């Protein structure tokens, strides 16, 4: 028993030490950033990442440090990673637009139907955790209203609780799907940033494949398939082809 308590205390103290250490690294990184020592700031932010602690704020600050240091590939990569965790943050969107001005490859995205754009904007209002809490709260309210419908003897109360309960269970289902969609972005990570200065997209997963078109570093692509060291990618304008996976880094 004493041995078990000792192990628990050791784990707890290790966790506290890690948090304290990361807090110190965070403060040092911010101080280096303020004094325009961006390489040192980057080093400290990345030390925090290596401990397994991630957040939109951390990726955002790291992206800013890379941007100031002139490394646009890493800046875009970290801004995009921040956006995955905080999809509605306007500051992240602004910085992505600023960094993308340095991307040579010009892409005209395909127009999307109104309902797709509307759904995407709604889903991106909150990260997956927030949508999950909303879904759970709506379902709990549905259960309460169901109980009110079953046990109330007042006709008006029963009618209102019945209709509201139906709305709540439907709303819970929709918000659950929104949470799943946001979670899928984090777990699947099917988007990437091109890191090769320039690379030719092939028609097949082979160096001897037909050359399709040329793209440059910093471009965001969607990965749709994988064969060996090759990744099939899709651009926002609908063009598709194959790249060696050494040329891209997952968001």
Residues of the chain scoring pLDDT < 50: 1-17
- Report the pLDDT value the prediction gives residue 91, as an integer from 0 to 100: 96
- Report the pLDDT value the prediction gives residue 19, as an integer from 0 to 100: 66
pLDDT tens-digit series, residues 30-89 = 999 999 999 999 999 999 999 988 999 999 999 999 999 999 999 999 999 999 999 889
Q: How many CB atoms sit inside 10 A of residue 221's CB?
A: 27
- Report the pLDDT value the prediction gives residue 7, as an integer from 0 to 100: 36
Report pTM: 0.78
- Report the pLDDT value the prediction gives residue 4, as an integer from 0 to 100: 38
- Report the pLDDT value the prediction gives residue 211, as an integer from 0 to 100: 95
- Report the pLDDT value the prediction gives residue 111, as an integer from 0 to 100: 77
- Report the pLDDT value the prediction gives residue 112, as an integer from 0 to 100: 74
Measured CA distances, 14 to 17, 19, 55, 116, 186 (Å): 5, 9, 21, 46, 27
Q: Please give the Cα distance from 40 to 49 (Å, whole number).
A: 14
Q: How many CB atoms sit inside 10 A of residue 103's CB?
A: 19
- Report the pLDDT value the prediction gives residue 251, as an integer from 0 to 100: 92
Q: Please give the Cα distance from 242 to 207 (Å, whole number).
A: 10
């Amino acid at each position: 028993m004493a041995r078990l308590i000792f192990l628990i205390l050791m784990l707890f103290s290790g966790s506290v030490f890690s948090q304290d250490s990361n807090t110190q690294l965070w403060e040092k990184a911010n101080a280096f950033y303020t004094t325009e020592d961006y390489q040192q700031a980057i080093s400290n932010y990345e030390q925090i990442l290596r401990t397994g602690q991630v957040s939109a704020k951390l990726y955002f600050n790291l992206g800013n440090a890379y941007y100031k240091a002139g490394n646009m590939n890493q800046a875009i990569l970290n801004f995009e990673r921040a956006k995955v965790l905080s999809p509605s943050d306007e500051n992240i969107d602004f910085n992505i637009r600023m960094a993308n001005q340095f991307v040579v490859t010009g892409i005209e995205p395909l127009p999307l139907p109104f309902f797709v754009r509307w759904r995407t904007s709604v889903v991106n209002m909150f990260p997956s955790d927030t949508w999950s809490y909303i879904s759970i709260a709506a379902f709990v309210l549905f259960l309460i209203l169901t109980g009110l419908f079953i046990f109330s003897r007042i006709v008006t109360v029963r009618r209102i609780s019945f209709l509201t309960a139906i709305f709540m269970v439907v709303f819970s289902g929709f918000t659950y799907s929104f949470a799943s969609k946001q979670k899928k972005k984090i777990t699947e990570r099917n988007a990437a940033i091109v890191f090769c200065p320039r690379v030719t997209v092939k028609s097949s997963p082979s160096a001897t494949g037909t050359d399709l078109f040329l793209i440059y570093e910093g471009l965001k692509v969607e990965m749709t398939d994988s064969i060996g060291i090759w990744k099939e990618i899709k651009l926002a304008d609908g063009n598709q082809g194959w790249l060696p996976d050494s040329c891209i880094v997952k968001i």
